[in-house]
Structure 1
């Protein structure tokens, strides 16, 4: 983030975008799309965020492409956040952790997204493995989909459900305020408005990175980033997908779109 700016670009090869790029909805179209993004933006962006679902829908051939994309990003020296939103219990959660966070795993990424709604403590295998391998996780806290607030804003005996995710991340990081951000971050949508303030969430106190989807095509811009994150804005990694990807397949156009996104986000988050 310090080197390339506070922007993460999603690699979301959904069928409509493949068609816009003149590519077939096939493993080969998927491969050309994703590797074009890596080639154009690798070494120029804080992180790339492949959306696993769009690779999984092509079966084993799609997963093979995802492995290739993660390897290409590593070669380019670019961090990856694999958007898998996994969440389970016991040995199953340990299996997911092993798949994405173990050194040498074919699908190993620098960070993954996790769903904590079987209880924050159910994520323990992933939290521990990420820490031991120097990787990170982003735990869903306040998502931008309209259905999310029915669960995330609900109030239990311990307070709002989303606060439990914030408290869990803060406890995991537990680092000095002058130290770098910890390895346990949160997903907080850039379009959630005043939700964090209304629920009494101290996002800055987590001392972890805040992945903020919804920037660009989903409607969030500098004003929304400031409104949502306030004093925590310097912890934000703003995530955009269509706002940059729609400029492709030209590599120069993708880079120009990235530059515009970085300039806009940096002005709000400084």
Structure 2
């Protein structure tokens, strides 16, 4: 983020975007779409974030395209965050970890998104492998979808919300992790449009030492007021995620769209 700015661009080959780019809604179309994004933006943003589901829906050919896209990210030196939101237990979680975080794995990314709702401890295989291979994970904490609050804001027997427990647990993992200071390798997903939830739930994002993957910028409209409300004191940790606001500019407008989005995010974060 210090070198390329605080922007993460999603690679989301939705059918509508493929059509707008003049591409077919098939594996060949999404492959061309995604590789154009990598070619245009590699080395110009902090990270690129392929949405795995939009590749998986095209079966084995779509997954093969995803492998190629992740390899292309590595070729540009740009960090990849694979948005898979996996969460399971035991050997199944270990399998997911091997798929996405092991050296030499075809789908290896620099980081993945994980769901902690089978218990944060269930993610241990992924966290441990990420530490071993120098990769990272982003754990869902406070998401911007309205349905998320019913689970994330729920209060347990200890009087703490589920989201607060996730943040506290991630903070403990970072305290015990390989990075003695600065940001840890276990991040959090916190929507930039969650409003007063962080304050009302008594959450201290800065204390977690977590990188903060923050959807909500761009098309969802998060600006300075929303950032101040959600990330006060932790702005330096925010990796702002946007997709539609950049991708809708089309292949010829990507660079200008990224420049505009980066300026807007920097202004919102005071960076």
- Offset at 1:175? 6.9
CA contact (8 A) 1:48 1:81 kept: yes
Gap runs ≥5 in structure 2:
none
- What is the CA–CA distance in structure 2 between the aligned matches of 1:103 and 1:34, rounded to whole Å? 23
Structure 1: 4+ residue segments shifted above 2 A: 175-180
- What is the CA–CA distance in structure 2 between the aligned matches of 1:21 and 1:200, rounded to whole Å? 44
- What is the CA–CA distance in structure 1 between the aligned matches of 2:259 and 2:228, rounded to whole Å? 20
- Offset at 1:259? 0.8
**Which residue matches 2:263?**
263
**Which residue matches 1:63?**
63
CA contact (8 A) 1:175 1:182 kept: no
Of 227, 230, 235, the residue aligned with 1:228 is 230
| Residues 173-212 of structure 1 aligned to structure 2 (within 5 Å) | 173-174=174-175, 179-212=181-214
**Which residue matches 1:92?**
92
Q: How many residues align?
A: 268
- What is the CA–CA distance in structure 2 between the aligned matches of 1:84 and 1:255, rounded to whole Å? 26
Deviations 1:211-231 (A, max 9, x none): 001111122223312221111
Residue 110 and residue 4 in structure 1: after superposition, are their counterparts in 2 closer, same or farther (change >3 A)? same
Mean CA deviation greater in 154-163 or 223-232: 223-232
TM-score, normalised by the number of residues in structure 1: 0.97
- What is the CA–CA distance in structure 1 between the aligned matches of 2:72 and 2:146, rounded to whole Å? 35
Q: Calculate the aligned-residue CA RMSD, in Å.
A: 1.3
Deviations 1:194-222 (A, max 9, x none): 11111000000010100001111122223
CA contact (8 A) 1:113 1:139 kept: yes
Mean CA deviation greater in 178-187 or 86-95: 178-187
| Residues 114-193 of structure 1 aligned to structure 2 (within 5 Å) | 114-158=114-158, 159-174=160-175, 179-193=181-195
Gap runs ≥5 in structure 1:
none
Deviations 1:16-41 (A, max 9, x none): 11111111101110011000000000
- What is the CA–CA distance in structure 1 between the aligned matches of 2:225 and 2:176, rounded to whole Å? 30
- Offset at 1:268? 2.4
TM-score, normalised by the number of residues in structure 2: 0.97
- What is the CA–CA distance in structure 1 between the aligned matches of 2:93 and 2:99, rounded to whole Å? 10
- What is the CA–CA distance in structure 2 between the aligned matches of 1:123 and 1:178, rounded to whole Å? 21
- What is the CA–CA distance in structure 2 between the aligned matches of 1:43 and 1:75, rounded to whole Å? 10
Partner of 1:257: helix, strand, or coil? helix
- What is the CA–CA distance in structure 1 between the aligned matches of 2:261 and 2:78, rounded to whole Å? 17
Mean CA deviation greater in 156-165 or 39-48: 156-165
- What is the CA–CA distance in structure 1 between the aligned matches of 2:23 and 2:102, rounded to whole Å? 33
Deviations 1:41-80 (A, max 9, x none): 0010100000000000000000000000000000001000
**Which residue matches 2:40?**
40
Partner of 1:174: helix, strand, or coil? helix
